[in-house]
Structures are given as structure tokens and as C-alpha cells.
Amino acid sequence: MTGKTAFETRHGFARNKVLLSNWRESPFSRWSFQNVGELVPSAPVAAAAGVSEGPAQDLTGLLGEKVALAGGPESVAAFLKRSDTDGLTIMKGGRIVGDWFAPHMDFGARHIVFSISKSLTAIVAGILEGEGTFDPEAPVTRYIPEAAGSAYGEASVRHVLDMSVSLDFEEAYLDPESAFARYRRATLWNPGGGAESLAAFILTLPRLAEPHGQTFRYRSPNSDLLGILVERASGRRFPELMREKLWLPLGAASEASVTVDMEGTARTAGGISVTPRDLARVGEMMRQGGTAFGRRVVPEAWVRDTVETGGSSEAWQRGTMAFLFPQGRYRNKWYQTGAESDAFCGIGIHGQWLYVNPRDEVVIAKMSSQPLPVEDPLDLDMVAFFEALSRMV
């Protein structure tokens, strides 16, 4: 009998069991979410040379503490396990409080952040806006003339940024026969891709009869279109923009990556992979009003509009996510929670969170491999967990 390989011993399955057809399924996702580039074509986003990550900081003392959740008190360690956490980094007042990693994830490993990619892409757009290169109030057709006649033909960039495009499309993550499955083939995330590019797919989408701007509708193609918009406005590829405009000024310690389609178009709606530490650095930069290490990264006015004052409460209430943040808003691909802590966040499927709590000066980056893409009761627990954790550290 052949003995198990080191890979099998650690992960519980052989590497050749992880396929393009199952990489988002448990248990394979525990490995694939850290190694997306082995399955989907990806472009690198290099970090600055010579930036030290520093050692991992122990969180052991916090793991036994109890938090009050809907089902009753639960230890931090138990909740991390129940929510399939792969990696966690906590910052307080700009300093690393601690890191926690599951046995199958190493300190310093990259992990896909899914729709937190939208929030990162919007930061790049905000930087270009500050430079005068990108106009959020312009019609989409200024940058993408061929969008005329599509759902985006009469939409503005602002509608795209705030997810208020009246787009006839459903985020049917688990339906293999849906338009969403065709979308994933166009991104090369599912078998059978390569016949239709991401841009070509997006421009076939129909619109609803309702005017743009009235209702918050979470539709991922909007955020892939945003990546195309910033590329058209700047004349440069997104991975280059992210490196020059965000990753280097941020002082990111590790290389990031983003998946690309058959034409090299970046999957800016969900394909970015970063380390927990670097994701936390993004949150801290936003908490600091757009600065990192004393350097201006994104205009302060853009950050304030994004996390404090912008966004339509009415459009948010008409959407389907108001249960998560009853007093919330959505602006520039970031969620304003409306909580007393003034917390704001980026969220990705399968349990990716970047939670920023200005009141307590806390930033929490959580990367996970939850089996289900979306689990509403767990998301409600997650918000309560982050608020409690913010008060503990």
C-alpha cells in the first residue's frame, strides 16, 4: 500500500483531486483558496522590495474569551472553527495585535478574497479620480462606447460604483444552468470557458425596466465592468494600476494576484488574492483617511464619502441585504454598517471579511473557506463577533 504524501497528510486529500470543476467546494477550497493561480490564469501584483512582514503575533490569550452570539456565548476559538476560518489578522491603533491560522494555512500565504476585490478595485478608481483621470459621474459610454445598447448604455459610472444599475441578472452561485454559470465560464473559473470573454459577456446583459439609481442590486458584473472602466480611462492594465497606485504606496509586504480571462482582463469583481496582513493594511489605510506611513494613498474626501457620508439609504433599503445592516448604506463598493461604532467593511463570499471599526481603532481581516457561498445567519453572527472582538482587544 502506498503511503500518504505530505500534501495528503496535511490537507486530507491528494492534489490531483482539486479540479476547476470543484475548487470552490469543501474540503478542496481549504487549499485552492490559497492557490488559485494553479487553477485559473492569474496576473501578479508585485510588492515593494525589502518590505518585511515581521513575525506572526500570537493570539492564544484571546482564543478562550467568550463572545455573545445569537445562539449564546461562544469562545473565539470555537467561532473561528465554526466559521471555517483559514486566517485572521487583527490590528489596533495601527499595530498588529495578533494573527491566527488554521493548520492548513501558513503565515504569509495569499488567499482569495472574492468580492473584497470590488472594494480594492474601487480604491484604485478613487485614486484615479483624485488624479483627474476618472470621472465617477460620467456615463459608462464615455469610456466604453460599445456599451451603448447594453444594460449599461444609459448608466453612469456612479451607478456601477454603488451597485444601483438596473441589471437583469441574478447571483445564482449554485445553479449550473444559470447566466451566472455562463459568467463564470467567461472568467475561466468554470470548465468550458474560453469561447466568450468577460467583456463580451457583460455587454450582452439586459436591463430591467426600473430606472438606474433607485435600488441597491448586488450584481458582480458591475465590478468587473469597473475594472474595464479604469483600464479604459487610464490606458493601463489593472494589475499595473493596482501595483503602482495602491500596493506600493500602501507598503504591502507580499505580492498579490488577480485572475484574468482569455483576453487578460482582470476579474476585479472577485479574483484578487492577498495575505491577511496586507488586507488588514488596506483597512488601516482606510481608517486613517487614506494615508499609510504618512503617505497619501487615496484622497481623504473620497474616503470620507465612501465610509461616512455617501451612499443612498433609500436604495439600500430597497435591496435584499438590508437585514445585515438595517441602518446601512453602500458606496464605492464598501458597506457602511450604520452601527454606533461607525464600522465599515468589504465582504466576500465563503466568509471573506475586512472589518474596520473607527470607534475602537480596530481592523480585522478574516479569510475563510466556508462551504456555502452565502449563509445569512452566519453573517449576522459574524457582525456581532467583529463588534465584540473590537471591544476585547
Judge whether 213 lies within some domain: no
Judge whether 162 lies within some domain: no
**pLDDT digits over 177-207, tens only?**
788 999 999 999 999 999 999 999 999 999 9
% pLDDT > 90, the chain: 92
Residue 278 pLDDT class (50, 70, 90 cuts): very high
Instruction: Respond yes or no on whether the N-terminal peptide bond of residue 27 is cis (omega within 30° of 0).
Output: yes
- Distance separating the N- and C-terminal Cα atoms of the chain: 50
Instruction: State how far the Cα of 223 lies from the Cα of 347, in Å rounded to an integer.
Output: 13
Residue 172 pLDDT class (50, 70, 90 cuts): confident
Judge whether 97 lies within some domain: yes
Judge whether 128 lies within some domain: no
Containing 233, the helix (H) or strand (E) segment is: helix 221-234
Judge whether 150 lies within some domain: no
Q: How high is the mean pLDDT of the chain? A: 96
**pLDDT digits over 65-115, tens only?**
999 999 999 999 999 999 999 999 999 999 999 999 999 999 999 999 999
| Contacting residues for 3 by C-beta, under 8 A, at least 6 apart | none
Judge whether 78 lies within some domain: yes
Structural domain span for residue 308? 34-118+236-392
Read off the CATH number of the domain in which 65 is found: 3.40.710.10
Write down the catalytic residue from 115, 156, 220, 369.
115
For the record, the C-alpha cell of 304 comes out as: 470620507
pTM of structure: 0.97
Residue owning grid cell 482582463: 265
Judge whether 226 lies within some domain: no
Total domains in the chain come to 1
Judge whether 199 lies within some domain: no
pLDDT at 1: 47
**pLDDT digits over 303-323, tens only?**
999 999 999 999 999 999 999
Q: Is 29 an annotated catalytic residue?
A: no
**Where would I find the beta strands (DSSP E) of the chain?**
42-45, 66-69, 72-75, 85-92, 95-101, 111-112, 256-259, 272-274, 291-292, 295-296, 329-331, 334-336, 344-348, 352-357, 362-368
